Structures are given as structure tokens and as C-alpha cells.
Structure 1
């Protein structure tokens, strides 16, 4: 394992103004809040950043703004997924040119039926790898593309830049355990995902880090730190504190939870999500806040 690739690396939400335009000042505040929460790295333009609701021009604006604003304070991951290999490569090159540390990419897919086969997936990741920036492979159900452990290990061994793996498929702990066992030193950064809803099991399986939302980074980080220190009882208790909030986020809210918490704490001014996403139901939002308040997370007081 690479000690550079451990800890908590949240996804930054993309704030919008009430009219649906980008809130660029709010974006800077989001990044500062995540850093103040103790993030070890930050990922932008991911699914929880609403990447599929953002134009190509806006992607470039956000990439430039985020990398310039963070200015090396923490490591930065830029998501570059696209069905077209040429576009994924161009996105990776831009991220590298602007100073990103890592790019994250899902296997090629478009809709429910266009999915890259193992050869096409390998070729796309190899092409992005040729850009010369470390790659995190995102293994998530959204793509509908199966990434079996032997394929992941093959890419880790043969594509120099494939170093990190965000595993958020069903039975993620089993897959992480097999990936680490079969890949050995080639698996430099095995990560948990999916908001940390399986975090404890994934850490037990050997995950060195987690890519959660940006909602309660300061509350989840102790789980990872205590587990790494060998304090299993402490890690279990720390996870128990946050488990209900994470469950509500993952099953009821998705990325809207982080925005709601950041509005509640004065980080951003609006929790607007672009259509066709619906706003959180008031009852769902209310339950979220009541689950967060006893945790006393920084997000609820950062901007007050």
C-alpha cells in the first residue's frame, strides 16, 4: 500500500445559485470547509458532484477554479469519466496540466445498453494512463460494467498509472479482500466508497481510505484513524455514531444531503439541484438534520 493513498477523500458537491447557475464563490467555500473538516484529499466532478448535470464548459471552469483555490493544500482528484476514450483522455490531460494529483474514471458506458467489454475497458484505461497521471478506477453499479478482480489486477500490473481503486459494488469488502490478495503491491490505494455505508467491513478487508460525501468528513475520519491504529473497539464505536446518518444519506438523499447540511451551516446559500433531480422532501431533510445535530459536525456551524 502507498501511504499517500489513505485517509478520507470526500467528493465535493457542486453548488448552484437558485437560478441554476454555478455558484463559484460557494464552490470555494465548499473546498475550504472540506479542508477544515480534515479531508486528506478532495474529489471534484464526481457523481456526487452532479457531473452528469454539468456542461463541458462548466467542467473546465470548475476544474480550474478548484485546483487554483486548493493550491496544493490537499491532494486533488478530478473525475474524467466519459464513454468516448478520446474525451476521457482529453479530460485527463487537462486535469494533469492544471495540477491535479489523480484522475478518477469509471469504465466506458452510456445508458443501459452501451457498455465497454473487458478489452475496451482495458484499452480506455491504458489510453488515460498514457497521459501520465495516477488513476483511481471507480467500480460502481451506475456503470453496469462488470469489473472482475482478475481484470482489475491485470490493469494494476500492466498499466503503470492504475494505482487506486474505489470499490462500491455489492459485497465490496469481499471484492477488496480478493483484490488486495491477488494484486499485492500493485494495489496501492484500495478505497471504500458509497458514502461509507460499508466502511467498517471495507476497512476490515484492507481498505486504506474512503471516498465519502463531504457532509460529515470530520465525524467519519476518526473511524479510519482508529482502525488504522488497531483500535477496533474505538473504530466500531465511532462508526456506530455516524451509521444512521450515513444510512439516511445513502438510501434517502444521495448528494442532496451534503448540500442541505452545508446550507444549514452557512457554507453555501442554496441547495439547488438541477432538473430532473427533485429537491429533498421536507420530511426527509428534517430527519437528516435531526440525525446530524447530535454529532455536532463542523458542517453545521462552519459558516455561522
Structure 2
């Protein structure tokens, strides 16, 4: 079967820190190697699940250079470039392109609860990045608080040549994906979902071709996407039912801390430290995460041992 160009599982790489909060650069390389061994179709860096909001501008550039050099074309890499200021987003897009990134991902312009880009400003920012000449994934996430109705997304897809992918992770994502695909047609080249795949089956049924999860269990979620695309619906549903308890625990209890907790348990990284003001996982929450993960025997728990 010929799969769409933008399909499969493209997880977000977590950013490991040492116990004192410094970037763990050897750990970052190990995270990337693990993800490739997990059978991912692509890797996203510097996203929300990479703790981009806790990383300095200098660290962003350092991580971008390190990740692209280390992956070295083994899989495509998406670099997240979101920022409220359009000139900064454009500058980040140019750097990502110059360093060899395959795609950039961005949310609409926002800064806090009250400074949100209008429909026109959102269009203009994406249009400006489109002129850089690198494919764009639009991230429609509740974090931005910006309303992105389907007609606006379709207009952007049709008028901004480089806007090719859409990561839809708003409430009722399946309904929005279905409407986006129906109204946007061929302009919607890569309809993806997110939110750790907690709504994956409904989103695939609505026409999603890919998913952007955490890096915790892509080796177990990737086959669900491929089975569904190949028409093996029963197999996809059975595997999804198997992993859903840990996906639910990750999504509702742990967030981005789950992948690093699992990677530390499996010897991939030495610390699951998160910078203040993010609190560490409660020991009971961590224990249940590992209790749910262990019977699944994911690569993350064995790769570093």
C-alpha cells in the first residue's frame, strides 16, 4: 500500500536535563537514537512536550543544531518555532531550514491569555513563514487559546503553499479533522492528531494520516496507525485497547513528564528533572505509570539496559 507522504507516527522528543537543571546533551543524543529504534516516521523537537517554554533562546539554537546533526537524515525532523513575534518566528524558520530541518511547526501567535493573534494576523504570520520555503505544520492546540475555525484553516492551506500539515488537538478533534479534510481536499496533505494519541482511533476514522505523540511508546502506537491505514481495523482496535490505559494515565496525570520518567527507568537518560516551576511527578503517579507500562514491554524500558 502507498502511504501518504506525511503519515505514521512523528513523536515529540523530550529535552533531558541533569539533576541540577543543565541541558543533558549526551542524553539528548540517546533520546534521538531511542526514538529512531522505536520505528518512528519522524521526530519533532522543541515542542511543548520538549518543554520549549523552559528553554532559553541560546539553548534552542544549541538543541536545534545538535538534533539535526545527530539525526543526520535518518528520519525527517520537525523543528517547533512558535513565538508571538512574527520576525522571530521567521528567523527561527530560516535557521531551521538552513540547518537541514524538513518541516517547522508553529502555533498561531499568542502571548498569555489576552494577547492573541486575530484571524488576519495568524494568516499573515503563517504566510511570512511560508515565504522562507520550508513545509509548515500548524498546531491547533488549546494552549494558544486562539480560535482557528475550519474555514480559516482551509483558506490558509489553499493560499499558503508551504502550509501542508495540520496537528489538530483541540476538543472534538475528530470532528474538526473530518471537516478540515472534507473542505480542504488536496490542500490538507498531512492531517495529524496529538494529545498523546488519547483520541487516536476516532481521529484515524476521521481521516488523520498521522499522529504526534510523546516519545514514550511510539513503538506500540505506530503499528496502530499502520494497521488502520492498511485496512486492518480489528488489529488496530485491539492494539489500541491494549495501550489505552497507559496513554490515558500519561495524558491525564503526567503530561510531558511521562516520557522522561519512562526513559530514566529504562536507562536511556540519567534524570527526569523538570525545571521550576514544573513539579516532579508524585511518586505514586510515577509508580502507576511504570505499573501500566511494564506489562506492555515497550522499548523505552529496555533500550538503555
Name the residue aligned to 1:56. 57
Residue 222 (structure 1) shift: 1.2
Question: 1:234: Cα distance to partner?
Answer: 0.8
Partner of residue 278, structure 2? 277
Partner of 2:264: 263
Cross-structure match for 2:287: 286
3-state SS of paired residue (1:78): strand
Give SS of 2:53's match.
helix
Are the aligned partners of 1:13 and 1:258 in contact in 2 as well (CA < 8 Å)? yes
Unaligned ranges ≥5, structure 1: none
- Which residue pairs with 2:178 in the alignment? 177
Where 1:77 maps in the other structure, the secondary structure is strand
Partner of 1:13: 14
Of 225-234 and 118-127, deviating more is 225-234
Is 1:295 equivalent to 2:299 in the alignment?
no
Partners of 1:152 and 1:33 in 2: CA distance = 34
Report SS of the residue matched to 2:203: helix
Partner of 1:200: 201
The alpha carbon displacement at 1:232 in A equals 1.0
5+ residue gaps, structure 2: none
Deviation per CA, 1:114-162: give whole Å up to 9, x if none. Answer: 0000000000000011100000000000000010000000010000000
Partner of 2:252: 251
State whether residues 88 and 128 of structure 1, in contact with CA within 8 Å, keep that contact through their aligned partners in structure 2.
Answer: yes
Q: Is contact 1:165–1:189 with CA below 8 Å preserved after alignment? A: yes
Cα RMSD over matched residues? 0.8
User: Deviation at 1:4?
Assistant: 1.7
Aligned residues: 304
8 Å CA contact 1:2, 1:188 repeated in 2: no
Number of the residue aligned with 1:155: 156
TM-score (norm 1): 0.99
Match of 1:23 in 2: 24
How far residue 2 of structure 1 moved from its aligned partner, in angstroms, is 7.7
- Helix, strand or coil for the counterpart of 1:166? strand
Q: Pick closer, same or farther for the CA change 1:161–1:2 going to 2, 3 Å.
A: farther
- Given that 1:42 and 1:77 are in contact with CA atoms closer than 8 Å, whether structure 2 keeps it comes out as yes
Partner of residue 89, structure 2: 88
Q: Is the 8 A contact 1:176 1:202 kept in 2?
A: yes
Residue of structure 2 in register with 1:230 after alignment:
231
Task: Give 2:130's aligned residue.
Answer: 129
Q: Which moved more, 1:221-230 or 1:9-18?
A: 221-230
1:31-58 Cα offsets, whole Å, 9 max, x none, are 0000000010000000000000000000
1:141 corresponds to which residue? 142
Tell me the distance in 1 between the aligned counterparts of 2:243 and 2:141.
Answer: 23
Is this contact kept in 2: 1:44–1:79, CA < 8 A? yes
Secondary structure in 1 matching 2:214: coil
